[in-house]
Chain A
């Protein structure tokens, strides 16, 4: 009986360790590859680098205007987050705390949008952007990103706003606040953790977007990171060190943010799904 218990325990921990290695190893692998000498990368597979070099990091900025990609990504993802929270929190407030006809209809419209495949609207949007001379501009990305992140924003914020006690607005009303003032002065500050969670998730999804960034932006100086990172491969050889140095630069900050706010992120990601 006891022996079996030990066997089970070993099996259990073996499973945990294998799972951990599969999940975490690739991150280690890109960081390690980025500091190896290019010679070492293509000669043999070494788990621990024989020598450490930052040459690949130098190449990242030398071969492409990578700092400009980063700047563009920050502007696009940042503005998307701001717009999304502005528009989304207004709608979420109405959906969570006001009684009105058509509430369910609006919720189902929002849900429908979350299922839209971006590839299905890329052709008309391309023609519209072209017509209004918006190709190769930030708005050509900010508009679609905001649209595709709105369902998640509205979903998360509605569930957070719902949890606050309803006496809050009544108290605010007694103090002479209009409902809009109550939203800005009372509800949003109290729902700050939810708003913040939402901001992280929207920012990351905008930061990672690829399809729209690929087709709406052709000017190299307007490109965002995900597309920029695919431009390093040469005609005949793949500069792995450079590619993974660039990958490390963009992945490391996201991983750190995710680790710091992991509880919030997990609660945000699962907010809609479990409650239905």
Chain B
């Protein structure tokens, strides 16, 4: 027994070491950095302790609150849309029909795309002169003039949301489909015998039984949406006029364009706290569900 325990510790040490050295230690260091003034281009200034100075500086900046707002808008819109489309796709795929296998295979296409490639592709689709989106909308006579998708402040955010929904809805659909498939068939049969309509069955049987899977899927997707970076970096560069500048992108700008590691690290810590807060929230609901 004791030897089994010893072996278990030896086996887990490498993984724990990696996790502590490259995830936990840097987080503490980021917190430490966020309390100091650190200008990478001016090493002669040293790294004086400024307490919460970096945070105060951020809270006074409208640009910071703009990034918070954009992150919130982006994350909530993408997750809600992905959930709706993901659920529709999962319900479709849970039926047996001709071509089901093909649709399920197609589901993996957006997932297999590198985010950078998907962002470039959407940039091309949105192009105001020779993008296919405008071309289709004009042929269908929905619009008369080409729309400048990425060049106007309101549309740029919507464009980024659409691009993200395309890329990540399949993951949501796959998770929900897996959840649907473990619902026992008898449940549906019982509902049918009780004379429940399809809509009633969905509300009273499918949704409640799918709830744990839904929560896990929403948690994963929310965390990913809050830390979005690649898509914004390639598609809009945060523009036009900071209208799509999210928290991760602003952090990147502060760290690697302005070389302000103090303020940048404060932003890192804020992002980290947001993520942890969201996780706790979801895990609390999940925990309440399962116990």
Q: Which residues of the partner chain B approach A90 to less than 8 Å between Cβ atoms?
A: 11-12, 14-15
Q: Kindly state whether residue A229 has any CB partner on chain B within 8 Å.
A: yes
CB distance from B216 to the nearest CB of A (A): 5
User: In the complex, which residues of chain A have a beta carbon less than 8 angstroms from the beta carbon of B111?
Assistant: 258
User: At the interface, yes or no: B271 with Cβ under 8 Å from chain A?
Assistant: yes
* A226, B25: Cα distance in complex, Å: 27
Give the distance to chain B from A169, nearest Cβ to Cβ, in Å: 10
Cα distance A266–B101 in the bound complex, in angstroms: 13
Contact present for A121 and B104 (CB under 8 Å): no
| CB atoms of A251 and B103 under 8 A apart | no
Chain-A contact segment, one of B58-66, B185-193, B200-208, B248-256: B248-256
Interface residues on B, range: 35 or more
The stretch of B73-81, B119-127, B151-159 in contact with A is B119-127
Q: How far is the CA of A147 from the CA of B216 in the complex (A)?
A: 22
- Interface flags for A18-29 (1: CB within 8 Å of B; 0: not) read 011011101101
| Chain B 93-105 per-residue mask, 1 if CB under 8 angstroms from chain A, else 0 | 0000101001111
**Complex contact B230–A121 (CB within 8 A):** no
Question: Is A6 located at the chain interface by the 8 A CB criterion?
Answer: no
Asked whether, in the complex, the Cβ of A251 is within 8 Å of the Cβ of B112, the reply is yes
Q: Is A59 an interface residue (CB 8 A)?
A: no
Q: Mark A26-50, 1 if CB is under 8 A from B, else 0.
A: 1101100100000001111100000
CB neighbours of B5 from chain A (8 A): 98-101
| Bound CA–CA A23/B108 (angstroms) | 8
Q: How far is the CA of A41 from the CA of B127 in the complex (A)?
A: 11
Specify the chain A residue showing the minimal Cβ separation from B89.
A19
The answer to whether residues A226 and B27 also contact, given A119-B229, A274-B179 and a CB cut-off of 8 A, is no
Q: Is B160 an interface residue (CB 8 A)?
A: no
Scoring A residues 104 to 144 as 1 if CB is less than 8 Å from chain B, else 0, what string do you get?
00100110010111111111111110000000000000011
A194 at interface, CB cutoff 8 A: no
Cβ–Cβ < 8 Å partners of A168 in chain B:
none
Given A29-B121, A123-B33, A265-B108, do A12 and B97 touch, yes or no (CB 8 Å)? yes
Query: CA–CA, A12 to B91, complex, Å?
Result: 11
**Shortest Cβ distance from B110 into A: residue:** A23
Q: Is B174 on the interface with A (CB-CB < 8 A)?
A: yes
Q: Name A44-87 residues within 8 Å CB distance of B.
A: 44-45, 86-87
Q: A13-B97, A113-B19, A251-B114 are in contact. List 11 more A-B contacts (CB 8 A).
A: A26-B109, A45-B130, A98-B11, A109-B16, A123-B255, A144-B22, A146-B18, A146-B22, A210-B229, A273-B213, A273-B216
Interface residues of A (CB under 8 A from B): 12-13, 15-16, 19-20, 22-24, 26-27, 29-30, 33, 41-45, 86-88, 90-91, 93-95, 98-101, 103, 106, 109-110, 113, 115-128, 143-144, 146-148, 150, 154, 179-180, 204, 207-208, 210-211, 214-215, 225-227, 229-230, 238, 240, 243-244, 247, 250-251, 254-255, 258-259, 262, 265-266, 269-270, 273-274, 276
